[in-house]
């Protein structure tokens, strides 16, 4: 079955450490997105990518970095510059970056500080 796979499901970060969240899709979608969700709140866009080797900052990009070397993969690195990284991170993809195709989501990664 096609879908979006996020790993790991749970992740713990030590102070000063960078961690990378994995997002892989086999839907042949062009566009991919990373969102952050804090408890009791909606989703906020961190980064998005419309095509391979291209990505754009979203609303809360500070302290995060991404790459898009392959169509299927869009990893998110939470750097030590992100002072409050504890949150639920969701990756999404859509067929195109234009139009109104729905975004499909992975199951998320919960990141906590040790």
Partner 1 sequence: AQKITQTQPGMFVQEKEAVTLDCTYDTSDQSYGLFWYKQPSSGEMIFLIYQGSYDEQNATEGRYSLNFQKARKSANLVISASQLGDSAMYFCAMRVAETSGSRLTFGEGTQLTVNP
User: Which residues of this protein are in contact with partner 1, per CB under 8 A?
Assistant: 31, 33, 40-45, 48, 50, 56, 58, 88, 90, 92, 94, 96-100, 102-108, 110
The nearest distance, CB 15 to partner 1, in angstroms, is 26
Distance CA 74, CA 55 (A): 10
- Kindly state the smallest distance separating residue 42's Cβ from partner 1, in Å: 4
The DSSP letter of residue 99 is S
Return the number of the residue (82 or 93) whose C-beta is nearest partner 1: 93
Nearer to partner 1, 45 or 75 (CB): 45
Structure tokens at 112: 């906590």
Q: In which region does residue 45 sit, left (phi positive, over 0), alpha (psi from -120 to 50) or beta (all else)?
A: beta
Question: Measured from the CB atom, is 43 or 67 closer to partner 1?
Answer: 43
- How many beta carbons lie within 10 A of that of residue 49, not counting itself? 21
């Amino acid at each position: 079955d096609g879908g979006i796979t996020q790993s790991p499901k749970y992740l713990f970060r030590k102070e000063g450490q960078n961690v990378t969240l994995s997002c892989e899709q086999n839907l042949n979608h062009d566009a991919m997105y990373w969102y952050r969700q804090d408890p009791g709140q909606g989703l906020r866009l961190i980064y998005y990518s419309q095509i391979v080797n291209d990505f754009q900052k979203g609303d809360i990009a500070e302290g995060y970095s991404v790459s898009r070397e392959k169509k299927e993969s869009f990893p998110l690195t939470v750097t030590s510059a992100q002072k409050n990284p504890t949150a639920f991170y969701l990756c999404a993809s859509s067929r195109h970056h234009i139009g109104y195709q729905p975004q499909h989501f992975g199951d998320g990664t919960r990141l906590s500080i040790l």
